[in-house]
Chain A
Amino acid sequence: MSIMDQNGGSVIAMVGKDCVAIASDLRLGNEALAVSSNFQKIFPITDRIYLGLPGLATDVTTLKERFRFRVNMYTIKEEREIEPETFAHLVSSTLYEHRFGPYYVEPVMAGISKTPSGGFKPFIAATDLIGCLNYAKDFVVAGTASSKLYGVAEGLWEPDLEPEDLFETISQTIMNALDRDAYSGWGCIVHVLTKDKVITRTLKARMD
């Protein structure tokens, strides 16, 4: 039993056409015993960045609060909102600060970034527990069901999905992957981000 599997939980993010989606399960467990069916692991950072933190739940909470501190100070001093690329490096360097005694969390982030010409570009990234960044053009996964998520996402994802189609794809991916993982499940939440709005839906999932 790895410490990463202590509480269970999984997150996935996907790129669509001018949109991104991020989804997670809602379980919090204590090894095999389920404690809560409403443990959020995805947190809004700005209106255009969402961060998923699967891993050891104590570190999920600690990091969520630390990132909120850093981003609030950034926003209020810089007088603008943080860009996804900048935030990704904030996540990475925060984790690497603890290189030899890490936070047991593998962050996944999804955002819409502004281009210099005034347009918008989808952005997803993930890091390992010591902050090695992985940018992807299609999807990123993390958590106890990551291997299953890879399999289903590989089969279902296609480029340039519209927001509603991307929602369907990510929902099917996470629901089916979770059914094969004992440590994730107990409900799902999906966020689809476009340049001007966020669609949040909770899915009716198997509760066993």
Chain B
Amino acid sequence: MARRYDSRTTIFSPEGKLYQVEYAMEAISHAGTVLGLLAKDGVVLAAEKKVTGKLLDLSATKEGGYGGSGEKIFLLSSNVIGGLAGLTADANSLVNFARTAAQRHLLAYDEDIPVELLAQRLCDMKQGYTQFGGLRPFGVSLLYAGYDPHYQFQLYRSDPSGNYSGWKATCIGANNGTAQSLLKQEYKDDIEVKDAIGLALRTMSKTMDSTTLGSEKCRRSAVEFAVLTLDPVTGKPKAKIYRPAEIDLLLEKEGLAKKDEDTEMKAA
């Protein structure tokens, strides 16, 4: 009987549910964790990427591309970085849409797109896929870390249904419940970026499968990391997506770095 209501996104079940949308959210709860922290003077994003094996060619991403955008954290606009959890293929198409939407706003109004407006643009599209038939919803949740002159630093989260909400600290993907409750305990309203970086990484290390973190290579899990602050000289938002080497340095500072005697390394 249930089969009748979950093959299409557009049809409610007798209990009033949209099964395909809920399945999409379920898919995301198995994806790599992405967490965001809003600080007084910036926003921090951290993401877990699941590297599938040592044969995967990472030579292109090793150095990090423009601003070091990686697998899960992308620059969406000069004032917004996005952290994505879910299907990578769907995510790529959403990232492209977000970037175009941001540039269209810049073209029309000669100003960077307000963060909430960018979240709205994506959610309008995501919502469309829960209502118009024949298609499946996007299997992607996003965190938006951004800055605009209206509300300064902001952090938003959106899910496949097209809902979005603003947060001080939040998490999407696997173990997001654990991370969320950790963040709830540790978060302080007047936290600064330098402390937020530590908190983000510590929370990350507790939610991930392995106890020590790294940035790269044949480890089962690795971290991506980004910070949005204001450039002290120009006063404009400055996104920094950390390169693998810089992440290792950060982890070392926080005492979370991997040890030399890594079991997996040895096995390999």
Q: Is A80 touching B65 in the complex (CB atoms < 8 A)?
A: yes
Distance, CA A107 to CA B74, complexed state (A)? 33
Q: Is B106 touching A68 in the complex (CB atoms < 8 A)?
A: yes
B residues with a Cβ closer than 8 A to A are: 65-66, 69, 75, 78, 96, 99-100, 103-104, 106-107, 110
Smallest CB separation, B60 vs chain A (Å): 9
Q: Is A66 touching B107 in the complex (CB atoms < 8 A)?
A: yes
User: Could you tell me the dominant secondary structure of chain A's interface residues?
Assistant: helix
Q: Is A69 touching B99 in the complex (CB atoms < 8 A)?
A: no
Segment of A71-79, A133-141, A189-197 in the binding face: A71-79
Question: Which single member of B69, B75, B78, B103 contacts A69 (CB below 8 Å)?
Answer: B103
Smallest CB separation, B104 vs chain A (Å): 8
Distance, CA A65 to CA B110, complexed state (A)? 8
Residues of chain A with a CB closer than 8 A to B100's CB: 73
Contact with B along A66-102 (1 / 0, CB 8 A): 1011001101111111000000000000000000000
Q: Is B69 touching A79 in the complex (CB atoms < 8 A)?
A: yes
Residues of chain A with a CB closer than 8 A to B107's CB: 65-66, 68-69
Q: Nearest chain-A residue to B69 (Cβ)? A: A79
Q: How many residues of A contact B (CB 8 A)?
A: 13
Distance, CA A44 to CA B75, complexed state (A)? 21
Residues of chain B with a CB closer than 8 A to A79's CB: 65-66, 69
Distance, CA A77 to CA B100, complexed state (A)? 11
Q: Nearest chain-B residue to A68 (Cβ)? A: B106
User: Could you tell me the dominant secondary structure of chain B's interface residues?
Assistant: helix
Q: Is A73 touching B103 in the complex (CB atoms < 8 A)?
A: yes
A residues with a Cβ closer than 8 A to B are: 65-66, 68-69, 72-73, 75-81
Q: Is B65 touching A72 in the complex (CB atoms < 8 A)?
A: no
Q: Is B106 touching A72 in the complex (CB atoms < 8 A)?
A: yes
Q: Nearest chain-A residue to B68 (Cβ)? A: A79
Q: Nearest chain-B residue to A64 (Cβ)? A: B110
Q: Which 10 pairs, one residue from A and one from B, show the smallest C-beta to C-beta distance?
A: A79-B65, A79-B66, A69-B103, A69-B107, A65-B107, A72-B103, A76-B99, A73-B103, A80-B66, A75-B66
Q: List 11 A-B contacts (CB under 8 A).
A: A65-B106, A66-B107, A69-B103, A69-B106, A69-B107, A73-B100, A76-B75, A77-B99, A79-B65, A80-B66, A81-B66
Q: Is B66 touching A76 in the complex (CB atoms < 8 A)?
A: yes
Residues of chain A with a CB closer than 8 A to B104's CB: 69
Residues of chain B with a CB closer than 8 A to A73's CB: 99-100, 103
Distance, CA A76 to CA B95, complexed state (A)? 11
Residues of chain B with a CB closer than 8 A to A80's CB: 65-66
Smallest CB separation, A90 vs chain B (Å): 15
Residues of chain A with a CB closer than 8 A to B69's CB: 79
Smallest CB separation, A65 vs chain B (Å): 5
Distance, CA A72 to CA B69, complexed state (A)? 15
Q: Nearest chain-B residue to A62 (Cβ)? A: B107
Residues of chain A with a CB closer than 8 A to B96's CB: 77
Residues of chain A with a CB closer than 8 A to B106's CB: 65, 68-69, 72
Distance, CA A81 to CA B107, complexed state (A)? 20
